[in-house]
Amino acid sequence: MEALAQIVVEGEGVLFPLSWEKTVEQHYKYRLKIRTKQVVQIPYRLAATVQIPYIAISGSVSEIEEVIAETVTSPFEEEVIQLPEDAERVARKIREGSKLNEEDEWFIKEVAESSGWRREDIVKELTIIQRNDPEGWKEKEELYIRIHEQYLREAEKYFKEKNYPQAAEKVWGAITALIKAVAAKRRIPIRDWHHGKLYNFVGSNIEEDKRKLFWELLEKGGNFHNHFYEHDREQYVKDNYQEVLGIIREIRKQEKI
């Protein structure tokens, strides 16, 4: 039986998990009609994604006065984070120590190209990415921060050597690791490695007054990533390198990571 979270709400309208990681069908499945103050239950895995004040009343937005979530049953019984089919297959093989085939290696190569990470770091992530227990989330956050800091050090080395494509790609890898660390700290899974998932996480889960920094980081980081492949934005990288590092420092400060 899936673990549930108990939520006490006061208000009128519709409460629903706002997570772009869920399908439209799942969104509607877990919409909860609220009338005055009452206790409702939703799957625990969605409790962290319930967004307030996203209470829709005839298209308008209203605030809920009180939202309290507490565990009704153990939230981690038989609970793992679901991944896309390819990722789930490769993650399982890595955990089991099974030999990866050509298709599996191609998947890892695509993830590397999208994220800016090395193969060994992707393998480390796949080993623990499906964990949904407190220690697992902490381990993921720590892994992402280690990757983030390592890539920043490598970016600095390449930048000093005037190897701007490599510096740019290391910065992009550091950015993707940082956003994953922020998500892990909030216990919100990013289940895919496509760039759009990073944007979706920010738009759905970062507070409005904090989003601007994330948008700027993703926009500039995306240009850095493109330079690695196209070698056509060298001056952009040189002009924006220090600013990107400053945005990273500011985000780490506000997120306390």
Check residue 192 and give its pLDDT: 86
Per-residue pLDDT averaged across 29-58, rounded?
44
Across 156-173, average pLDDT: 98
Measured CA to CA, the distance from residue 40 to residue 9 in angstroms comes to: 8
Q: Look at the chain and count its residues.
A: 257
Question: What stretch of H or E contains 172?
Answer: helix 164-185
User: Which of 172, 148, 186 has the alpha carbon at shortest distance from 233?
Assistant: 172
Q: For residue range 48-88, list pLDDT tens digits in order.
A: 444 433 333 333 333 333 333 333 333 334 378 989 999 99
C-alpha distances in Å from residue 194, one per residue of 66, 146, 165, 207 = 35, 21, 20, 22
Average pLDDT, the chain: 79
Measured at the alpha carbon of residue 248, what is the angle toward residues 245 and 251, in degrees to the nearest 5? 155
Stated pTM of the model:
0.71
Dist CA 158 CA 135 (whole Å): 35
pLDDT category at 232 given cuts 50, 70, 90 is: confident
